[in-house]
Amino acid sequence: MKTILIIDDDSAVMALTRKTLQARGFQTLAANDGVAGIEMAKKHLPDMIICDIQMPQLDGYETLAALRQDPVTAAIPFIFLTGLADRKHLRQGMGLGADDYLTKPFSVSELMAAVKTRLEKQAAVQRRSERKLEDLRGNIGMALPHELLTPLNGILGFASIMMDEGVVFEPREIRDFAHNIQISALRLHRLIENFIIYSEIELTKSNPKKVQELRQNGRTLTREIITGVAREKAATAARQDDLRLDVQEGCAAMAGSYFKKILEELVDNAFKFSKKGTPVGIAAGVSEARFTLSISDRGRGMTAQQIADIGAHMQFERRFYEQQGVGLGLIIAKRLAELHGGDLLVESTPGEQSTVQMFLPLAVEGN
C-alpha cells in the first residue's frame, strides 16, 4: 500500500484530500505545517508528498527545499497545492524540484490523475536505478578478474618457487618468499573487501530506509582510531618521521568500521602518492557543530578534471604511475561520507600537494 503525506494548514482541504486518497486504497499521513511535515517525511519516508504553498512557520517552498537537500527525502515525488494567486510563483517551486502542482479548488479526477502520473514516473525512475545497479555488477565483473590476477600470480609464483624440487633455500630466502606471499594476499583481501563495500554502498544508496537506519545507528569516538591507523600506515611505509598529527577527540555519527575504512584508504593514499621525506599531515576535531578531518601530503597531486572525474573504476594517470589497484579507495571514502550526511572534498595542485577534507555530523547523545 502506497503512503502519501499531506502537508496543509487548511483542515477542510486536508480532510477532503485524505478521504479521497483513502477511498482509493492509499494510506495517508497528515501535517498542518512545514516543520511537522519535514519531520514526518524523514520518519515515515512516504511514497509521495502533497503540500500547500501558503503555510505558517515554513511555507511550501522552504519545505520542499529542506526535503530536497536531504538525500533520504530528496527523491520523494512532491506535488504543490496552490491557489490562483500563487500560480505566478510556480516557476520558483519547479526550480526547487517540485514534480507537479494542483490548483485549488481541484476535482477528484485531477487529484488522482496527478498522483497516478507521479507514482508511475517514480516507478520508472526506480526501474532505471535497478538497471544501473545491474550495470554496476557487470562493470565490477569485468574489472575484478584482472585486478585479482595480479596478486594471485604473485602468490602462485612464490609458492611455485618454494615447491621446486631439488632446490634448497636459506632461511632468509624462505622468509622473503613468505613475506611477498603475505603482501600479495593482503592486497587480494583488500581488493575483494573494497569491491564488496562499494557494491553495498551502491545498493544502500538506492534505499532511503537503509540510509536512514545507517545514520541513526552510528556513533564513534574518533581520536584513537585516527592515531592508530595513521601510525600503522606510517610504519608500513617506513615514514614515521614524516607523520604530523594534530588530532582532537570527536564523536562522529558513523559506525567505527566504516570510519576506520575511510581512514585506512585516505591515509594509505597520502603515503603512497608522496615521497619519503615529505610531510603527511592529519588534523581532526570538532568545528561548527560537525566533525572535521583533514589529510594533506606533498605528492603528485591531481588536476581539477581528475578531481571532477572521481569514479569507481578510474585510476588516475595509470599509464604513468604503477601503483596497484583500481582507485576504489577515494570513491568509497566519499560515498560513505555522503551516505552518513557528510561530505568529502579534495583540493590539489598537480605536482605539489593534495588535501582531502571530510565532514561528518556529530553523533546525537543517546544513540
Q: Quick: pLDDT tens for 277-318.
A: 999 999 999 998 999 999 999 988 877 777 776 654 444 343
Task: Please tell me which residue, 88 or 174, carries the higher pLDDT value.
Answer: 174
Highest mean pLDDT among 178-187, 231-240, 357-366: 231-240
Q: Is the pLDDT of residue 146 over 70?
A: no
Task: List the CATH number of the domain containing 14.
Answer: 3.40.50.2300
Beta bridge partners of 344: 358
Task: List the CATH number of the domain containing 296.
Answer: 3.30.565.10
Q: Is residue 58 part of a domain?
A: yes
Mean pLDDT of 29-54: 92
Answer yes or no: are the C-beta atoms of 328 and 194 closer than 8 Å. Answer: yes
User: How far from chain centre, in Å, is Cα 366?
Assistant: 24
Domain of residue 86, residue span: 3-106
Task: Please tell me which residue, 163 or 282, carries the higher pLDDT value.
Answer: 282
Highest mean pLDDT among 81-90, 121-130, 183-192, 279-288: 279-288
> In terms of domains, do 235 and 355 share one?
yes
Backbone φ/ψ region at 246: left (φ over 0), alpha (ψ -120 to 50), beta: beta
The H or E element spanning position 162 is helix 108-162
Q: How many CB atoms lie within 10 A of CB 242?
A: 20
Q: Is residue 328 part of a domain?
A: yes
Q: Which of 85, 106, 127 represents a domain boundary (last residue)? A: 106
With a pLDDT cut of 70, the percent of the chain lying above it is 83
> In terms of domains, do 81 and 227 share one?
no
Mean pLDDT of the chain: 83
Mean pLDDT of 67-71: 84
With a pLDDT cut of 90, the percent of the chain lying above it is 41
> In terms of domains, do 351 and 228 share one?
yes
Q: Is residue 126 part of a domain?
A: no
Q: Do β-strands 48-52 and 100-103 pair in parallel, antiparallel, or remain unpaired? A: unpaired
Q: What is the pLDDT of residues 331-350, one digit of tens each?
A: 889 889 988 999 999 999 98
Give the integer Cα–Cα distance in Å for 241 and 276.
9
Q: Is residue 120 part of a domain?
A: no
Q: Which of 106, 137, 162 represents a domain boundary (last residue)? A: 106
Question: How many domains are contained in the chain?
Answer: 2
Task: Please tell me which residue, 127 or 259, carries the higher pLDDT value.
Answer: 259
Q: What is the pLDDT of residue 321?
A: 38
Q: Which of 75, 303, 339 is nearest to 204 (CA)?
A: 339
Q: What is the pLDDT of residues 235-267, one digit of tens each?
A: 999 999 999 999 999 999 999 999 999 999 999
Q: Is residue 163 part of a domain?
A: no
Q: Which of 106, 126, 161 represents a domain boundary (last residue)? A: 106
> In terms of domains, do 229 and 354 share one?
yes
Give the integer Cα–Cα distance in Å for 199 and 334.
14
Q: Is residue 25 part of a domain?
A: yes
Q: Which of 64, 63, 52, 41 is nearest to 9 (CA)?
A: 52
* Total-model pTM: 0.57
Task: Please tell me which residue, 313 or 197, carries the higher pLDDT value.
Answer: 197
Q: Over the Cα atoms of the chain, what is R_g?
A: 26
Q: Which of 164, 166, 190 is nearest to 177 (CA)?
A: 164
